[in-house]
Structure formats: structure tokens, C-alpha cells
Chains A and B, each alone.
Chain A
Amino acid sequence: DTAVSQTPKYLVTQMGNDKSIKCEQNLGHDTMYWYKQDSKKFLKIMFSYNNKELIINETVPNRFSPKSPDKAHLNLHINSLELGDSAVYFCASSQEHAGVLLNEQFFGPGTRLTVL
């Protein structure tokens, strides 16, 4: 059983398009995240949701909009894609209590986004 799954695994699109990446976790965790990994492999957090509530919103262009319909899902929608958005996007989940991380973050397999 896949713990954290993302779709699609690969996404190639033209500049200016709007696209979405979906993430689902079946671990029963209450916190989910989106990370961006650039070409130099640097991992940077973008968003964090706890029980469908936005907790962390790093300095990310407002073209990026996360949506959490329920605790098990955190989708990422990107408007007006730019060349610089090309990267690998990782979803992750963890269990927290009163702001304390109780266990490790489990990462999805990543979505490689290429903007042409």
C-alpha cells in the first residue's frame, strides 16, 4: 500500500498554462506539506496544512494555491506557469499534536514538472 501518493509523476506543459498536482495519504496523518526541489536538489517547504487549515505559507508566488478538501488530501494548483516553476514537487505528511511533530514526515515519490 502506498503511504503518500502523488499524481501525476511527470508533467510537461507550456508556459502560461494552469496545472494541478494531487496528493493523498493513507496514514491517517493530520498534517500535510508541499516541498519544491530545484535542479540543485535543494528542498524548500512551500506550504503546510494541519487538519485542513493552512499553517505554513512560505514566500511563494500567489500563483500557487494549495487546497485541502480533507485531512487525507492536499492538492497544489499552479496558475500561469513560468519557466522557473520547473522542479520536482514533493508532498509529505506527518502527525502533529499541539504543534509538536510526533513522527517523521513521509514523502511522496514526487512530481517532476517541466515548463517549456
Chain B
Amino acid sequence: GQQLNQSPQSMFIQEGEDVSMNCTSSSIFNTWLWYKQDPGEGPVLLIALYKAGELTSNGRLTAQFGITRKDSFLNISASIPSDVGIYFCAGLLGGYQKVTFGTGTKLQVIP
């Protein structure tokens, strides 16, 4: 089946630094989603991308839908302690197809 690989698997950064993470797939998707999961909670949607090449921002977060439709990137600028959590990418093909989640990137921010 489809697999979404995220990198890095985990990262420690200093508060104020920018963060980049990416997600690659062995097959194409029509929609890319980025979620954040806080400890003990369910994932919450951060950004949704619907077109190849699309670049979308949500506050300090910026995500891009790769032109090949097989990858996506998430950037967080000027990180703060509450950015700590696990970030998941997810791909959706459409037509009652399931949402496939990535392996996750665990982010730790050092104050």
C-alpha cells in the first residue's frame, strides 16, 4: 500500500529558530494535509493543500504541495515552546479514499 515517509523523524531546536520538515510518497495524492498532535490529544489540522505547486500559510506555518504531487513540505518560522508536538502529513486521493498518514516528525523546542 501507499506509504508516506516524513523526515526528520525528530528534531530538537532552539526557540526562535525556523523549522523545516517534509513528506514523500511513493504515489501521487490530490490533497495534502498537515496535522499537529499534542501529547494526549488527537491530531488537529494545520494546513490543507489542494493543488500541485500550491503554497499556503497559516500564521508562522507555511506548507507547499509538491509539483510532482508526491511530496509536501512544512515550514515553521520563529518557533516557540508551544510548537512542541508531533507533526503529521497526510495524503488524500479522493473518492472515498482513505486519508494516509505519514510517519510523523516529533518536534522539541528548547526555551
Contacts and interface: CB of A to CB of B under 8 A. Distances in A.
B94 A100 contact: yes
Nearest to A56: B98
A75 interface: no
Interface residues of A, number: 24
Interface in B28-52: 31, 33, 37, 40-45, 48
A25 to B, nearest CB: 12
B104 A105 contact: no
Find the residue from B41, B92, B98 having the highest chain A CB count within 10 A.
Answer: B98
Given A41-B86, A104-B45, A109 B40 contact: yes
Given A48-B98, A108-B42, 7 more contacts: A41-B37, A48-B96, A99-B94, A99-B95, A99-B96, A100-B94, A110-B40
A43 B88 contact: yes
B99 interface: yes
A109 B39 CA distance: 10
B101 interface: yes
A58 B98 contact: yes
Given A107-B44, A110-B40, A101 B94 contact: yes
Given A41-B86, A43-B101, A55 B96 contact: yes
A96 interface: yes
B98 to A, nearest CB: 5
